[in-house]
Amino acid sequence: MSGTHHHAGEHPPHQPDIEEHPFSTYQVMAEAVGELLVEKQIISRDELRRTIETIESKSPAAGAKLVARAWTDAAFKARLLADVNAAAAELGIDAGPVPIRAVENTPSVHNVIVCTLCSCYPRMLIGLPPPWYKSRAYRSRCVREPRAVLSEFGTTVPDGVEVRVHDSTADLRYMVLPMRPKDTDGFDTDALARLVTRDVLIGVSVISDFS
């Protein structure tokens, strides 16, 4: 895909104009539900703490590992596109109980992920969502004017490329399977995985070709 792209580890030339303080309503609700589960003895406080710590310890590394394997193994890629959770389990990765769907970028389609309701997100594969993902501006504008939002991340999608916006829910989450950059035939899976960032897996950024 042509346009302004960034290698892993690089940052957009400026922060997108969608930053704002995230809503705290859902955090309050989550804490209330947690307290209720403990009160009803459905889960102990230690179990709740360990679960939260496990989620908070996640990073984009698991999702990057899936992408790198898909780039080098066509059969695995087909299984990933059919069932992310099952494909992740093949590599010893727990993707969590919520179904996750991989959406593939191609020369004619660019995918981007949003949750218009709150902040539904494949945390077990990508880690905690960034503050801008939870902001009202991103959640509304990504649907109405996705190209403008992407440009604020430094990602220019050509006019001939369709932009598809996928709305994550509590019952279905998404991750983007980016295109493999050119001239990476000699890269092993570890090197390929290092090219894949959180923003690439969300779809607000892409990986530059090496040619």
Q: Where are the domains of the chain?
A: 58-202
Contacts of 185 (CB under 8 A, 6+ apart): none
Q: How far is it, in rounded angstroms, from Cα 3 to Cα 156?
A: 5
Give 168-194 pLDDT, tens digit per residue: 998 999 999 999 999 999 999 999 999
For residues 82-104, average pLDDT? 96
Q: Of 57, 118, 135, 168, which one is the catalytic site residue?
A: 118
Angle (CA) 189-63-81 rounded to 5° is 90
**CA distance linking residue 129 with residue 67, whole number of Å:** 19
Domain 58-202 sits in CATH at 3.90.330.10
pLDDT digits (tens, 9 = 90+) for 14-43: 345 444 444 445 455 556 666 777 677 777
CB 179 within 8 A of CB 71: no
119 given a catalytic annotation: yes
Known catalytic residue: 120?
A: yes
Q: Catalytic site residue 142?
A: no
In this prediction, residue 119 has a pLDDT band, given cuts at 50, 70 and 90, of confident
Catalytic residue among 59, 119, 142, 168: 119
Please give the model's pTM, rounded to 2 decimal places: 0.75
Q: How far apart are CA 57 and CA 82, in angstroms?
A: 27
Most confident of 15-29, 94-108, 115-129: 94-108
Highest mean pLDDT among 32-36, 54-58, 178-182, 207-211: 178-182
**Phi and psi angles of residue 46, each rounded to the nearest 5 degrees, phi first:** -65, -40
DSSP count for the chain of H helices, then E strands: 11, 4
Q: Which of 24, 44, 108, 120 is catalytic?
A: 120
Q: Which residue has the higher pLDDT, 7 or 39?
A: 39
Quote the CA–CA distance of 66 and 89 in Å, as a whole number: 10
162 by DSSP, 3-state: which?
strand
Spatial contact of 166 and 111, defined as CB atoms under 8 Å apart: yes
Q: Given the residues 115, 135, 142, 168, select the one marked as catalytic.
A: 115
The predicted-structure confidence for 60-78, as pLDDT tens digits, reads as follows 999 999 999 999 999 999 9
